[in-house]
Amino acid sequence: MKLAALLFVCAAAAAGGSEAQDVAIAGDAGPVAAARPTVAGTLQQGKKLTANPGTWTGSGTITYSYQWYRCDGNGAHCSSVHGATKATYTEVAKDPGHSLGLTVRAVDPTGASAGYASPAGLVA
């Protein structure tokens, strides 16, 4: 993921997060998000969260990849969680007191775009 995209995730979270919007990575063509990604599940160590990639339009088959982030309690200062690249994430001992973020990368034959879920609240 480009640094600008990661910075957007943190900036959107710091600005309140709930109004974060989907944005294409600058310079790339690709799918367009009609509805941003979401996260479902219980925010508690040991529980599993599930990513919904959102709704995308594009050319041909669209594939998705995922990256989960651990952020401070305000949803800012995010760092990618090493190896957390699936549509599900089981919360670990480092997560309590932090919020979690998610980026979904959608790829079709014309290029790639990224969408961002609103930061999930504090993990218990």
- What pLDDT score was predicted for residue 29? 84
- List, for residues 51-102, the tens digit of each pLDDT value: 999 999 999 999 999 999 999 999 899 999 999 999 999 999 999 999 999 9
Round to whole Å and give the CA distance between 60 and 93.
40
pLDDT digits (tens, 9 = 90+) for 31-50: 999 999 999 999 999 999 99
Where residue 107 falls among pLDDT bands split at 50, 70, 90? very high
**Cβ atoms 77, 101 nearer than 8 A:** no
Coil vs helix vs strand at 58: coil
Question: 123 vs 20, 36, 47, 102, 118, CA distance in Å?
Answer: 20, 22, 10, 14, 14
**What is the value of pTM for the model shown?**
0.77
Note the pLDDT of residue 4.
36
State how far the alpha carbon of 13 is from the alpha carbons of 9, 20, 28, 100, 107, in Å.
6, 7, 23, 10, 24
pLDDT for residue 20 is more than 60:
no
Distance CA 94, CA 80 (A): 13
Q: Say which residue, 55 or 26, is predicted with more confidence.
A: 55
Comparing C-alpha atoms, which of 53, 54, 36 is closest to residue 118?
A: 36
